[in-house]
């Protein structure tokens, strides 16, 4: 038993002591067998939800209709789900009703893939009636039972197939892959939110790009309820990495950073796929992600384009870019970006750049420029004494009382100029110095009329 499972043993043992059967199931069994770290430990039992609740006063009735009770052990939640079968799948979606059963095998039979249909008993014995362990050994993802029927019951399973195959570097069994291709159009019955949740899991897994490419190759992207940007649904989307020769090794070997927010991985994928900012935004909208996420993401993506344009401008004016001039331009560009959007934008980029194989990217003569970008960003982050208003040593109130003037458009304008001066190191970020600089700026403005 994995350590995480041992910790949950008291829950299993309590159920068993009262005459019920109880086992570990699903992801934790699969991950242990694969030698991976476990995300969460889920339990299945022959006890009904009412019986579970009676045994554990400290519980949350998470999904009683589907047989799930969350049992709290200290601060750790464990999902305990009653053995069940599913029927009456409504329109290729999750079932309307479930039936509680007493047989573990029947419960495992309703699960999606053989590797997810294994259980482990308290004494460590593996219950594996559908050959999950053998499939894992051979590196194969396979539906439990008839793939055709399983994808018709719940079309989201096709997306999950892509996610697991990408994450665990599995080949999809021929019958399962054929059924997926055949039933891809059924995906339109699945709520976009569920697809969005799976897509997020793909991006936070260890092989986001592999999953993204497989997703495109599966043809599933063309069949979502809400249309996705056409650059993702076209046939070529299956081979989005043409300009990134040699890049698979750089990103495809488990380098995703699990400590970073999932948006970092989305950003990398967006850059690699060459998503335009408006397509990125359309994608996030279709997947029903929060507006704040959309804004943040779109902003970062659009910076990429503006940066290209900014370098392109000097080129047009001066022919072949002189590297030093271009670097200067880049520096000014990023300083402005940080001052307008906050330092987070530079951190996002730094992270994305460090994880992109830039040696293979960037068109010909710009390559050197792009390659020096991480260093430039890091320098900027260190050099800039202040990056936003909160870091400024004077407040709006300070400035108002200094000038004995009521608030107005002048105030915001002045503060912005002060921030710029302080950020560029032209004025020290100290109250007195800033107020003196403010006086100079104001009198300049007045003399300009």
Q: For residues 69 and 67, what is the distance between their CA atoms, to the nearest angstrom?
A: 7
Q: Cα-flanking dihedrals φ and ψ of residue 142, to 5°? A: -140, 140
CB < 8 Å & 24+ apart, contacts of 130-135: 132/30, 132/33, 133/33, 135/173
Q: What minimum distance in Å lies between the beta carbon of 287 and Mg ion?
A: 20
Q: Which residues pair with 97 in a beta bridge?
A: 87
Burial of 258 (0-12, 13-18, 19+ CB in 10 A): exposed
Neighbours of 203 (CB within 10 A): 21
Query: Pick from Mg ion, ligand ATP, none: which does 112 bind, CB < 5 to 8 A by kind?
Result: ligand ATP
The binding site for ligand ATP (CB under 6 A) comprises: 26-27, 39, 111-112, 116, 154, 156-157, 201
CB closest to ligand ATP, residue no: 27
Q: Of 95 and 274, which has the nearer Cβ to ligand ATP?
A: 95
Q: What minimum distance in Å lies between the beta carbon of 106 and ligand ATP?
A: 13
- Render 277-345 in DSSP notation, one character per residue: HHHHHHHHHHTT--HHHHHHHHHHHHHHHHHHHHHHHHHHHHSSPPHHHHHHHHHHHHHHHHHHH-THH
CB < 8 Å & 24+ apart, contacts of 395-399: 398/431, 398/435, 399/435, 399/438
Q: Of 41 and 350, which has the nearer Cβ to ligand ATP?
A: 41
Residue 63 binding Mg ion, by CB under 5 A: no
Q: What minimum distance in Å lies between the beta carbon of 252 and ligand ATP?
A: 19
Q: Of 197 and 441, which has the nearer Cβ to Mg ion?
A: 197
Q: What minimum distance in Å lies between the beta carbon of 100 and ligand ATP?
A: 16
Q: For residues 312 and 60, what is the distance between their CA atoms, to the nearest angstrom?
A: 58
Q: What minimum distance in Å lies between the beta carbon of 112 and ligand ATP?
A: 4
Crossing angle (nearest 10°) for helices 291-318 and 344-354: 70
Query: Pick from Mg ion, ligand ATP, none: which does 111 bind, CB < 5 to 8 A by kind?
Result: ligand ATP
- Render 132-143 in DSSP notation, one character per residue: HHHHHHHTEE-B
Residue 77 binding Mg ion, by CB under 5 A: no
Query: Pick from Mg ion, ligand ATP, none: which does 142 bind, CB < 5 to 8 A by kind?
Result: none
Q: Of 203 and 422, which has the nearer Cβ to Mg ion?
A: 203
Q: Of 26 and 298, which has the nearer Cβ to ligand ATP?
A: 26
Query: Pick from Mg ion, ligand ATP, none: which does 156 bind, CB < 5 to 8 A by kind?
Result: ligand ATP
Report which of 370, 374, 287, 276 is spatially closest to residue 326, judged by C-alpha positions.
Answer: 370
Neighbours of 42 (CB within 10 A): 19
Q: Which residues pair with 171 in a beta bridge?
A: 140
Q: Of 27 and 196, which has the nearer Cβ to Mg ion?
A: 27
Q: Of 92 and 297, which has the nearer Cβ to ligand ATP?
A: 92
C-alpha neighbours within 13 Å on the C-beta side of residue 61:
8
Q: What minimum distance in Å lies between the beta carbon of 219 and ligand ATP?
A: 19
Q: What minimum distance in Å lies between the beta carbon of 56 and ligand ATP?
A: 20
In Å, how far from its chain's centre is CA 72?
Answer: 27
Query: Pick from Mg ion, ligand ATP, none: which does 279 bind, CB < 5 to 8 A by kind?
Result: none
Query: Pick from ligand ATP, Mg ion, none: which does 342 bind, CB < 5 to 8 A by kind?
Result: none
| Site track for Mg ion across 10-29, x = CB under 5 A | -----------------x--
Q: Of 37 and 443, which has the nearer Cβ to ligand ATP?
A: 37
If you search the block for the tokens 């990134």, which residue do you land on?
244
Q: Which two tokens stand for residue 448?
A: 């300009």
Q: Of 39 and 378, which has the nearer Cβ to ligand ATP?
A: 39
C-alpha neighbours within 13 Å on the C-beta side of residue 10:
10
Q: What minimum distance in Å lies between the beta carbon of 228 and ligand ATP?
A: 21
Query: Pick from Mg ion, ligand ATP, none: which does 261 bind, CB < 5 to 8 A by kind?
Result: none
Q: What minimum distance in Å lies between the beta carbon of 152 and ligand ATP?
A: 12
Q: What minimum distance in Å lies between the beta carbon of 55 and ligand ATP?
A: 22
CB closest to Mg ion, residue no: 27
Instruction: Give the residues lining the site for Mg ion (CB under 5 A).
Output: 27
């Amino acid at each position: 038993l994995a350590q995480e499972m041992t910790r949950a043993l008291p829950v299993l043992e309590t159920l068993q002591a009262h005459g019920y059967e109880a086992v570990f199931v699903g992801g934790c069994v699969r991950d242990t067998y694969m030698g991976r770290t476990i995300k969460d430990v889920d339990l299945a039992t022959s006890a009904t939800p009412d019986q579970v609740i009676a045994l554990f006063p400290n519980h949350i009735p998470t999904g009683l209709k589907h047989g799930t009770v969350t049992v709290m052990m200290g601060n750790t939640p464990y999902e305990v789900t009653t053995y069940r079968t599913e029927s009456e799948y409504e329109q290729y979606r999750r079932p309307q009703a479930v039936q509680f059963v007493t047989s573990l095998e029947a419960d495992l039979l309703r699960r999606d893939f053989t590797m997810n249909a294994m259980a482990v008993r308290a004494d460590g014995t593996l219950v594996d009636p559908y050959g999950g362990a053998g499939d894992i050994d051979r590196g194969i993802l396979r539906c439990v039972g008839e793939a055709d029927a399983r994808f018709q019951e719940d079309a989201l399973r096709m997306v999950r197939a892509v996610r697991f195959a990408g994450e665990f570097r599995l080949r999809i069994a021929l019958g399962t892959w054929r059924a997926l291709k055949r039933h891809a159009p059924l995906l339109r019955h699945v709520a976009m939110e569920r697809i969005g949740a799976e897509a997020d899991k793909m991006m936070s897994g260890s092989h986001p790009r592999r999953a993204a490419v497989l997703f495109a190759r599966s043809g599933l992207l063309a069949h979502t309820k809400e249309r996705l940007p056409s650059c993702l649904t076209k046939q070529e989307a299956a081979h989005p990495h043409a300009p990134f020769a040699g890049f698979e090794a750089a990103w495809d070997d488990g380098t995703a950073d699990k400590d970073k927010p999932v948006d970092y991985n989305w950003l990398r994928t967006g850059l690699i796929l060459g998503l335009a900012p408006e397509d990125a935004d359309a994608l996030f909208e279709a997947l029903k992600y929060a507006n704040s996420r959309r804004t943040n993401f779109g902003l970062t993506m659009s910076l990429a384009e503006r940066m290209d344009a900014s370098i392109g401008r000097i080129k047009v004016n001066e022919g072949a870019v002189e590297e030093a001039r271009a670097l200067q331009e880049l520096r000014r560009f990023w300083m402005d970006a940080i001052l307008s959007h906050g330092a987070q934008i530079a951190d996002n980029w730094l992270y994305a750049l460090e994880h992109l194989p830039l040696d293979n990217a960037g068109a010909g003569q710009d390559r050197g420029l792009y390659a020096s970008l991480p260093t430039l960003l890091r320098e900027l982050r260190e050099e800039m004494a202040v990056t936003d208003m909160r870091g400024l040593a004077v407040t709006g109130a300070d400035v108002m009382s200094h000038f004995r003037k009521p608030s107005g458009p002048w105030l915001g304008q002045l503060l912005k100029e002060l921030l710029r001066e302080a950020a560029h190191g032209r004025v020290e970020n100290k109250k007195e110095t800033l107020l003196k600089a403010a006086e100079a700026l104001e009198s300049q403005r007045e003399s300009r009329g």
